[in-house]
Amino acid sequence: MQRSSDFLGPQGPFFKQVSGYQVRDSQLALCDAIDDAIASGKILAAEAGTGIGKTFAYLVPALLSGKKVIISTGTRHLQDQLFHTDLPRVTKALSVQSTSALLKGRSNYLCLHRLKLAPELGFINRETRSILSEVNEWSKLTQSGDISELTSIAEDSYVWPMVTSTADNCLGGECESWEKCFIVNARKEAQAADVVVINHHLLLADMTLKNEGFAELLPAADAFVIDEAHQLYDVAARFFGDTVSSRQLISLARDTIAEQVNDASDMVELRDYAEQLEKAGQDFRLTLGEAGLRDAWLNIQNKSSVKQSLENLATALDDLILVLKTAAERSRGLEQCLERAQVIFSRLKFFQNNNTMTAGHADEQQDNSVLWYETYTKSFMLHVTPIDVAEIFQQHTDNFSASWLFTSATLQVNKQFNHFANNIGLVDYQSGVWDSPFDYEKQSLLYLPDNLPQPADFSYTTELMKAAVPVLHASQGRAFVLFTSYSAMYKARDYLKQVLPYELLVQGDLPKHQLLEKFRQTDNAVLLGTSSFWEGVDVRGRSLSCVIIDKLPFASPGDPVMQARIDTIKRNGGQPFMEFQVPQAVIALKQGVGRLIRDVNDSGVVMIGDPRLKQKSYGRIFLNSLPSMPQTSDVKDVEMFFQKLSDADRADQNIAQAV
């Protein structure tokens, strides 16, 4: 009987049809394991090393299974890559008639009702009117309504929230544009398709049925493939919680005014109360303090100014609710504004009630959740976040009698899956490791410099950069320098720009995709980045020959959610540092190191400055979890490594010229 892996083997269609295709034994073995999991309805945790070709390894059995398969990726960018590039190639090679669909969250689709309301959503200047006119013209041409099609408008443009819907403001079946609704049509296509490509945010939103409310898609699936599965825990923690934000309040206020203009022009008091709500939200933001705060609600809830402004905000919202109760019968739009206001009010009361608890923190912990807040320049967010998502996630997955495949290049910690499995509640599961086909022994070198101060030392970043300069000269730039904080990144920038002859590209100077493109096109560039550059970034070839990591990426213990998790593990008699903080940091470090070798022809050096790798007992866990790279503490070995690369490049050039 023919197996899925046969199609990827030397006699298969990929070898014959796909230019540059290479048969990889580890890919074939992974493909068979996935095939077995889908056929038997089992749960599989699969760590697939970089370069193994895991996408083809799961697409082939998924398409050949004849079952309905949902594939969830980490980001919308990966979704588009999978759906528009990988899936068509595999479908063509297999010559199957399987149908596929791409489904994103509703904020990715134009809402025709919101487009109609947009001119009433606050002050509209000439620029906004021009952009809305462009969106309106596009709306007459697009088939999908996916806003990524309209590339002339930036992804983060302030106009998109005006013309896209949320679960809060969607009118559902009572919308006059329901028959033409892009998200409704996308979901119909997803229901009918054999393979549906979604992302983790949408998976969890639909799973909880509270943000997207689409109950037909997930239960119909026979198998779920969760790619980039190491991200699932953090995404789940966000989705299984609740949030009240200034954006929600402003959106509610302005939608109320827009609906009042259209359907209740005689009820001018609606506008007055909506404006009072927006003002109360602004006043509440001011009492929370400066921008950039991220702290437990416990630490601020008893401040008199905060209590008073929260009371004023709740009162303003309650006043609006009373008027909306009268106006709701005028239209579905106003009725829906009432429903949104009531939901936000109940969440606000949760934060108010927490003020009156004599043992607020204990009650938070008892409910398996932590209350916290964060501030931005003009906005705020109040969060209720579960401390442990394992039981919640397990309850939801148990609702679907399907096989589950979790895959990523970074699932193991110290050669074990326990951390990943415990985080999301996997109990009865199979696991396996399919190693990268890359020859790390020959292609890479791990440099751990000696004599650096401890990371907490004030001089650490400067001393690290001094140690990094000869490495950057040896690599001739062509490097990522990855940091665990913005402050360290800026300090390094100020030092390096004085001593390096290479172009310095710094996160924040340009949008991420533009910065990466400039890095690829610039000879000998050095890119400085923080967390968003530790994963999901793919630069192949000589352009990236060195990755320098400043510290072991431990999450800040001052983070309110992290602190709550630490406290919970302690109360249960555990050791939070070894059970949670170290494993989380190991996964992040593996992602950062994984930026270097992306192709069978890549070579380079990873430098990790943190002396704790060799001085602390837990350092061995980090080193055991990394690819088997040769290790040195002598910078001369680094220089020799790059010299050999240069010699090899020159030899290749001479051969090419001779030919």
For the chain, give every residue range classified as CATH 1.20.120. Answer: 241-386
Residues 6+ apart with CB under 8 A from 521: none
Helices (H) and strands (E) in the chain — how many of each?
28, 18
Q: What is the pLDDT of residues 146-204, one digit of tens each?
A: 998 988 888 878 899 889 988 778 888 888 888 899 999 999 999 999 999 999 988 88
Q: Are 271 and 319 in contact (CB under 8 A)?
A: no
Q: Which residue has the tokens 């296509």?
A: 189
Ranges under pLDDT 50 in the chain: 210-214, 356-366
What's the mean pLDDT when you consider all of the chain? 90
Residue 466 burial by Cβ neighbours in a 10 Å radius (0-12, 13-18, 19+): middle
Q: Tell me what pLDDT residue 651 has.
A: 64
pTM exceeding the 0.85 threshold for the entire prediction? yes
Angle at which helices 635-658 and 460-474 pack, to 10 degrees? 30
CA 182 – CA 187 distance, rounded (Å): 9
CA 314 – CA 30 distance, rounded (Å): 54
- Show the 3-state SS of 273-317: HHHHHHHHHHHHHHHCCCCCCEEEHHHCCCCHHHHHHHHHHHHHH
CA 390 – CA 294 distance, rounded (Å): 24
Q: Which amino acid is at 274?
A: A
- Beta bridge partners of residue 370, listed in sequence order: 385
Q: What is the pLDDT of residues 60-70, one digit of tens each?
A: 999 999 999 99
Q: Which residue has the tokens 């393979």?
A: 195
Q: Which residue has the tokens 């019968």?
A: 329
Closest CA to 295 of 364, 383, 388: 383
Neighbours of 358 (CB within 10 A): 6
Q: Are 105 and 205 in contact (CB under 8 A)?
A: yes
Residue 655 backbone phi and psi in degrees, to 5: -65, -45
Q: Tell me what pLDDT residue 314 has.
A: 97
Q: At CB < 8 A and 24+ separation, what contacts does 305-311 make?
A: 307/355, 309/280, 309/283, 309/284, 310/284, 310/348, 310/351, 310/352, 310/355, 311/352
CATH number of 4-99+193-236+389-434: 3.40.50.300
CA 341 – CA 49 distance, rounded (Å): 48
CA 635 – CA 233 distance, rounded (Å): 38
> 491: which 2 tokens?
């300090």
Q: Are 62 and 407 in contact (CB under 8 A)?
A: no
For the chain, give every residue range classified as CATH 3.40.50.300. Answer: 4-99+193-236+389-434, 440-651
Q: Are strands 369-375 and 69-73 parallel, antiparallel or unpaired?
A: unpaired
Q: What is the pLDDT of residues 484-520, one digit of tens each?
A: 999 999 999 999 999 999 999 999 998 888 899 999 9
> 122: which 2 tokens?
């606050």
Q: Tell me what pLDDT residue 122 has.
A: 66
Closest CA to 309 of 281, 267, 289, 328: 281
SS3 1: coil
Q: Tell me what pLDDT residue 170 has.
A: 84
Q: Which residue has the tokens 């026979």?
A: 222
Q: Tell me what pLDDT residue 29 has.
A: 96
| Residue environment code for 505-535, b if the CB has 16+ CB neighbours within 10 A, otherwise e | bbbeeeeeeebbeebeebebbbbbbbbebbb
CATH number of 440-651: 3.40.50.300
CA 348 – CA 342 distance, rounded (Å): 10
Q: Give the CA diameter of the chain.
A: 86
Residues 6+ apart with CB under 8 A from 23: 8, 9, 10, 15
Q: What is the pLDDT of residues 318-365, one digit of tens each?
A: 999 999 999 999 988 899 999 999 999 999 998 998 754 333 333 434
The conformation of residue 526, written as its DSSP 8-state character, comes to E
In the CATH scheme, what architecture does the domain 241-386 have? Up-down Bundle (1.20)
Closest CA to 216 of 236, 190, 198, 195: 190
CA 341 – CA 3 distance, rounded (Å): 55
Percent of the chain scored above 70 by pLDDT? Answer: 95
Residue 502 backbone phi and psi in degrees, to 5: -95, 155
> 77: which 2 tokens?
């960018």
Q: Are 246 and 278 in contact (CB under 8 A)?
A: no
What's the Rg (C-alpha) of the chain? 27
Q: Are 106 and 167 in contact (CB under 8 A)?
A: yes
Closest CA to 586 of 564, 608, 560: 608
The conformation of residue 555, written as its DSSP 8-state character, comes to P
Q: How far is Cα of residue 299 from the mean position of the Cα atoms in its chain?
A: 28
Q: Tell me what pLDDT residue 358 has.
A: 31
Q: Are strands 369-375 and 294-296 parallel, antiparallel or unpaired?
A: antiparallel
Closest CA to 401 of 68, 51, 36: 68
Q: Tell me what pLDDT residue 356 has.
A: 43
Q: Are strands 242-245 and 294-296 parallel, antiparallel or unpaired?
A: unpaired
CA 183 – CA 169 distance, rounded (Å): 14
CA 189 – CA 294 distance, rounded (Å): 41
Q: Are 113 and 166 in contact (CB under 8 A)?
A: no
